[in-house]
């Protein structure tokens, strides 16, 4: 069990470091945070699952449908959770909503990332990383992070 103790000590050392900076009752938030960190593509993937172009277009369509039921088929949303009433209209109001399927990267057996570009009604362009999750054999959008 030497590996375990060694790993444990390493973990504790890390923990102490973070704890000393951020885990005091009167401490401020840690000054340095790591990058938002798209999960590494080097993670072991036993079953590659691609994102076909048709699937990407279907996601785009569902997302912009303005219909809550369709949105729930495009995004990972907990069942029984009420969606914000403005979400469907907000997504439908995008002038552009493009999933760059060619940059799709599977990061684990159940996760992947793909770039998305949106242009709102005012013409403002924003670029996002969508984090996808594999649900019932299909990729759904689980979260988004804006690329700064």
Q: Give contact residues for other proteins (rule: CB under 8 A).
A: 4-12, 14-16, 18-19, 22-27, 29-30, 33-34, 36-40, 42-44, 46, 75-84, 86-87, 90-91, 94, 108-111, 116, 118, 126, 128, 131, 133, 141-146
Who contacts 130 (Cβ-Cβ below 8 Å, separation ≥6)?
A: 99, 113, 114, 115, 116, 141, 143, 144
Nearer to other proteins, 15 or 53 (CB): 15
Residue 83 DSSP label:
P
Number of neighbours of residue 27 by Cβ within 10 angstroms: 11
Please, what is the minimum distance in Å from the beta carbon of residue 61 to other proteins?
15
Rg (CA), the chain: 19
Angstrom distance (rounded) from CA 85 to CA 16: 43
Considering the complex, state which of residue 23 and residue 53 has its C-beta at the smaller distance from other proteins: 23
Q: Output the smallest distance, CB 1 to other proteins, in A.
A: 9
Smallest separation (angstroms) from other proteins to the CB of 28: 9
H-only helix segments in 42-92: 53-63, 68-74, 85-92
Closer of 54 and 78 to other proteins (Cβ): 78
Nearer to other proteins, 52 or 90 (CB): 90
User: Which lies closer to other proteins via its Cβ, residue 55 or residue 92?
Assistant: 92
Q: How far apart are CA 1 and CA 22, in angstroms?
A: 31
Closest approach of other proteins to the CB of residue 102, in Å: 20
């Amino acid at each position: 069990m030497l590996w375990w103790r060694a790993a444990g000590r390493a973990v504790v050392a890390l923990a102490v470091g973070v704890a000393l900076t951020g885990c005091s009752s009167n401490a401020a938030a840690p000054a340095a945070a790591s990058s938002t960190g798209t999960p590494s593509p080097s993670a072991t993937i036993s079953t590659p699952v691609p994102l076909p172009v048709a699937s990407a277009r279907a996601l785009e369509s569902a997302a912009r449908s303005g219909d809550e039921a369709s949105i729930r088929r495009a995004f990972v949303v907990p069942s029984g959770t009420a969606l914000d009433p403005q979400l469907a209209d907000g997504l439908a109001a995008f002038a552009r909503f493009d999933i760059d399927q060619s940059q799709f990267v599977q990061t684990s057996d159940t996760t992947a990332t793909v770039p998305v570009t949106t242009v709102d009604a005012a013409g403002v362009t924003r670029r996002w990383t969508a984090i996808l999750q594999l649900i019932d054999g299909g990729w759904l959008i689980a979260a988004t992070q804006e690329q700064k």
